[in-house]
């Protein structure tokens, strides 16, 4: 499902992220888009939401739409992974790291540049917020 408000950068990042999540969990991309409540598909979706939000700042609405879910499901999924990270669940931390490594190694140079450009834009926006807080 593709919404009109998904930017090209977000689409590239989410496609690559989804591929990496599916690779690490050994499932198909079509499986992750199922509405199944089976942990075999729910946990990978939750990892997708967590990494999409924490690493790339993609909105819950955009991520949910991308995999056929709503924003509340994406928010809940991200929170579930964050809870496991917060209690230092080694299995979940290791899985998140594996997905990140696969993602970076599998991206083309063009896609890597898009991700870097997105990070630069995010940092500029944060810097502007900080400047505005210092000089109201």
**pLDDT tens across 95-134, in order?**
999 999 999 888 777 677 777 777 788 788 888 888 888 8
Per-residue model confidence as pLDDT tens digits over 13-40: 899 999 999 999 999 999 999 888 999 9
- Residue 6 vs residue 80, higher pLDDT: 80
pLDDT at 5 over 80: no
Q: What is the CATH number of domain 8-134?
A: 1.10.1750.10
Positive or negative, the CA dihedral 64, 3, 106, 120 is negative
> Please, are residues 32 and 19 in contact by the beta-carbon 8 Å criterion?
no
* Of 29, 50, 65, 45, residue with least CA distance to 100: 50
**Domain boundaries along the sequence of the chain:** 8-134
Burial 35-57 (b: 16+ CB within 10 A, else e): eeeeeebbbbbbbbbbbbbebbe
Is the confidence at residue 4, as pLDDT, over 60?
no
């Amino acid at each position: 499902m593709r919404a009109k408000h998904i930017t090209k950068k977000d689409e590239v990042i989410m496609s690559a992220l989804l591929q990496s999540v599916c690779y690490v969990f050994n499932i198909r991309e079509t499986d992750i888009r199922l509405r199944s409540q089976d942990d075999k598909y729910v946990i990978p979706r939750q990892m997708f939401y967590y990494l999409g939000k924490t690493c790339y700042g993609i909105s819950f609405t955009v991520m949910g739409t991308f995999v056929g879910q709503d924003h509340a499901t994406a928010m809940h999924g991200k929170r579930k992974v964050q809870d496991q990270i917060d209690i230092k669940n080694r299995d979940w931390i290791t899985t998140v790291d594996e997905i990140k490594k696969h993602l970076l190694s599998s991206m083309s140079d063009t896609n890597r540049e898009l991700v870097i450009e997105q990070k630069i834009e995010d940092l500029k926006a944060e810097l502007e917020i900080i400047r505005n807080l210092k000089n109201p």
